[in-house]
Amino acid sequence: MWTAEYPLPAPMRAEILALAAQELHPRGASVAALRLVQARFGWVSTVHLREVADLLGISADDLDGVATYFNLLFRRPVGRHVIMLCDSVSCWIMGREPLCAHLCGKLDIRPGETTADNAITLLPTVCIGHCDHAPAMLIDDTLHGDVTTASLDQLIDTLRNTP
Amino acid sequence: MTPASERPLTAMIDPAAGPPDCAAYGRAGGWQATRLALGSLAPAEIIDMVTRSKLRGRGGAGFGTGQKWSFVPKEPASERRKYLIANADEMEPGTFKDRWLLEGNPLQLVEGMILAAYGVQAGHGIVFLRGEYQEACARLHRAIGEARQQGWLGENILGSGFSFDIHIHSSAGRYICGEETALLTALEGRRATPRSKPPFPQTGGLWGAPSVVNNVETLCNLPHIIANGPEWFTGLGLGDDGGTKIYGVSGRVTKPGAWELPIGTPLRQIIEDHAGGMRPGYQLRALLPGGASTAFIDATALDVAMDYGSVEKAGSRLGTGMAIILDDRTCPIGMIRNLEHFFAQESCGWCTPCRDGLPWVERLLDAIEDGTGRDEDMDQLDRHARMLGAPGRTFCAHAPGAMAPLASGLKLFAADFAAHIQQGRCPHQAGAGAGAGP
Ligand SMILES: Cc1cc2nc3c(=O)[nH]c(=O)nc-3n(C[C@H](O)[C@H](O)[C@H](O)COP(=O)(O)O)c2cc1C
Ligand code: SF4
Ligand code: FES
């Protein structure tokens, strides 16, 4: 079993090297490589960060500068599902604050935290380009619009029951 | 509804059918421009046609597209490494136009990129796509793969000797990556701080090579300009600018959405006819005409034509053309606070005035909205709006953009600011205002 504590699986190392080979300079693959790692492990651990840096031929600090720069790259573990509730202006006007409060109450966490059963992490996100269906959110990769407390409750219940 | 021939950008978009494949795209008029360009037009003729079409950048700054390209060194693509980059980072709050084009008809972007690349003789294409746009990413991947298979991308396209291919860079979420020099830094796998100009990207861009960065909507216009001619394109606009524009409205209107309309359509028509006016029980108080980084205009300015020059005369900017409506039951200070929270969070941190100034502005607004603001806070806000708002005081246009809604809001909502400070609370929070739900 591969976890964040262990070196990257060999096929993934090969994939990262292939990404690097497509670029004029290997470091051009930094974000793509980190996203690849995260897609598999849910986040980017320091062990993995060091290994990716090594494969790209840059220092781990340099790569960590990139990893910590981007909103969608996680340097800490997250739950099995990630809810990203838009906190930008159109969603704010359309009532994302009360929705967020409802969600925090239901999950018993604050934004940025993960539920005790490790099922759900709640994060704010900037505008996700769904402002005509505000309030909007992403659950993992899926976009949801015109969210209400009722539709939210239903989505959370289904989510809790999916691995 | 406007006839399809007058809505070139969206005519082929049919959400029920999904995006057209190469064959359907060709049947509906696609690839004509590529055949024409690669078969019988010189690169300089493409640049000339685009200049005459009066197409201006749809990414916010409104720079003339043909003029922008004219600064690119002229060597053929085979002799010099050059890049053509589609800016699909779309992170300006309130903006959802590029997603519509990307998901609805990705081949139109592919063709636009081929034409732009041929014009500036770039052999390498990149779509800089925001990380959250997963559906757009999948559709674009399919479109590029199919176009490659059918010979529209790759070596020696249509036997013209011109070679060009497109690679997708899926980003990981940072507003500043939309700024074109920060975008280049991001593509080089570094923290995406903007770069000083010169060198301009057209001469020293990605990895030091000449690079053109254009917005998705800008590029999507090209197949139509080349196929139908620049005169046809200028004829589509109502005022001085050429073509159509994707306009959008969000906030408490009856039918929020986006529509392709002649550029220069009056704002009132967009809000009343297309967005269906305000929801019952709400009045329009003010709005941001073109995304979060444009200045507020109030309800008296609704007759402004939505083109670059007219919106500027009205004291704001066309920006992305996507309007955000402030209604009478939402607290304007709450709205500005929300905007400044965004800008403070998304500051790249490179230069001090922006890195330290924007969080300061946010804290002042927090205090005023929460009822602990003092009169002196208004002077501080005013000073920030003036200092950070003037171009040249910060390293890039992020901070001036952030100050646009603040500076205009300080004037327009002076009475609301005063009421918050005097009453020691937000007068809206008692009622059903400020983000209390639809
Ligand atoms: C802070 C900031 C964010 C920007 N974000 C975007 C963006 O998401 N998409 C975009 O096309 N242009 C964005 N721009 C404008 C670009 O810098 C650039 O002007 C544009 O991509 C050029 O394309 P165009 O000439 O086709 O409009 C942004 C500019 C700034 C200052
Ligand atoms: S103005 Fe802000 S975003 Fe632009 S370089 Fe300075 S700190 Fe970065
Ligand atoms: S403001 Fe929330 S999706 Fe645009």
- Residues B218-255: tens digit of each pLDDT: 999 999 999 999 999 999 999 989 999 999 999 999 99
Residue nearest (by alpha carbon) to ligand 1 atom 29? B179
Model confidence pTM above 0.90: yes
Q: Compute the distance between CA of residue B292 and CA of residue A108 in angstroms, rounded to an integer.
A: 32
Task: Specify the number of domains making up chain A.
Answer: 2
Are residues A143 and A96 part of one domain? Answer: yes
The last residue of one of the domains, among A11, A37, A69, is: A69
What is the arithmetic mean of pLDDT over A103-119? Answer: 96
Are residues A93 and A50 part of one domain? Answer: no
B134 burial class (0-12, 13-18, 19+ CB within 10 angstroms)?
Answer: middle
Query: How close A148 gets to chain B, by Cα (Å)?
Result: 9
Are residues A91 and A61 part of one domain? Answer: no
B257 burial class (0-12, 13-18, 19+ CB within 10 angstroms)?
Answer: middle
Q: Compute the distance between CA of residue A130 and CA of residue B95 in angstroms, rounded to an integer.
A: 8
Contact with chain A for residue B340, Cβ under 8 A: no
B394 lines ligand 2 (CB under 6 A): yes
**Which of B81, B96, B255 is best to mutate for the A interface (most A CBs within 10 A)?**
B96
Q: Compute the distance between CA of residue B57 and CA of residue B68 in angstroms, rounded to an integer.
A: 9
A75 is a domain residue: no
List beta partners, residue B88: B129
CA B265 to centroid of ligand 1, rounded, Å: 22
A53 is a domain residue: yes
Are residues A50 and A86 part of one domain? Answer: no
With a cut of 70, say whether residue B54 has pLDDT above it. Answer: yes
With a cut of 70, say whether residue B115 has pLDDT above it. Answer: yes
A27 is a domain residue: yes
Domains of chain B: 4-236 (3.40.50.11540), 244-327 (3.10.20.600), 332-429 (1.20.1440.230)
Q: Compute the distance between CA of residue B217 and CA of residue B9 in angstroms, rounded to an integer.
A: 8
A37 is a domain residue: yes
Contact with chain A for residue B346, Cβ under 8 A: yes
The last residue of one of the domains, among A16, A47, A69, is: A69
Q: Compute the distance between CA of residue A91 and CA of residue A71 in angstroms, rounded to an integer.
A: 19
Domain harbouring A153, CATH code: 3.40.30.10
CB–CB contact B248 A131 (8 Å): yes
End-to-end Cα separation, chain A, in angstroms: 17
Kindly report the backbone phi and psi dihedral angles of residue B262, in degrees, each rounded to the nearest multiple of 5, phi listed first.
Answer: -55, 140
Tokens representing residue B52 in the block? 């005459």
Are residues A107 and A49 part of one domain? Answer: no
Domain harbouring A28, CATH code: 1.10.10
A76 is a domain residue: no
CB–CB contact A35 B172 (8 Å): yes
User: What does DSSP say about strands B211-215 and B83-88: parallel, antiparallel, or unpaired?
Assistant: parallel
Q: Compute the distance between CA of residue B56 and CA of residue B348 in angstroms, rounded to an integer.
A: 27
The last residue of one of the domains, among A23, A39, A69, is: A69
Contacts of A92 in chain B (CB under 8 A): 334-335, 338, 435
- Residues B416-433: tens digit of each pLDDT: 999 999 999 999 874 434
Q: Do residues B389 and B407 lie in contact, with contact meaning Cβ atoms separated by under 8 Å?
A: yes
Are residues A87 and A58 part of one domain? Answer: no
CB–CB contact A72 B135 (8 Å): no
What's the complex ipTM? 0.96
Are residues A118 and A142 part of one domain? Answer: yes
A49 is a domain residue: yes
The ligand minimizing its distance to the Cα of B288 is 3
Give the count of beta carbons closer than 10 Å to the beta carbon of residue B372: 13
Are residues A129 and A150 part of one domain? Answer: yes
Residues with C-beta less than 6 Å from any ligand 3 atom: A 86, 88-91, 127-131, 134, 136; B 93-94
Q: Do residues B109 and B196 lie in contact, with contact meaning Cβ atoms separated by under 8 Å?
A: no
Contacts of A97 in chain B (CB under 8 A): 434-436
Are residues A154 and A109 part of one domain? Answer: yes
Q: Do residues B382 and B357 lie in contact, with contact meaning Cβ atoms separated by under 8 Å?
A: no
The number of angstroms, rounded, from the C-alpha of A154 to the middle of its chain's C-alpha atoms is: 22
Strands annotated E in B19-178: 83-88, 124-129, 165-170
**Which of B99, B187, B328, B338 is best to mutate for the A interface (most A CBs within 10 A)?**
B338
Q: Which of A32, A127, A133 sits opposite B93 (nearest CB)?
A: A127
| Confidence category of residue A74, pLDDT binned at 50, 70, 90 | very high
Q: Compute the distance between CA of residue B177 and CA of residue B198 in angstroms, rounded to an integer.
A: 18
Residue nearest (by alpha carbon) to ligand 1 atom 5? B178
Are residues A148 and A93 part of one domain? Answer: yes
With a cut of 70, say whether residue B434 has pLDDT above it. Answer: no
Q: Do residues B250 and B297 lie in contact, with contact meaning Cβ atoms separated by under 8 Å?
A: no
Q: Which residues contact B347 (CB under 8 A, 6 or more apart)?
A: B176, B354, B355, B358, B398, B399, B402
With a cut of 70, say whether residue B183 has pLDDT above it. Answer: yes
What totals of helices (H) and strands (E) does chain B contain, helices first? 18, 9
Query: Which residues constitute the domain of residue A112?
Result: 81-160
The ligand minimizing its distance to the Cα of B90 is 1
B348 lines ligand 2 (CB under 6 A): yes
Are residues A85 and A48 part of one domain? Answer: no
For B322, the closest chain A residue by CA position comes to A131
Residue reference for tokens 């986040």? A43
Per-residue pLDDT at A2: 64
Give the count of beta carbons closer than 10 Å to the beta carbon of residue B51: 17
Tokens representing residue A17 in the block? 């090297």
Are residues A152 and A90 part of one domain? Answer: yes
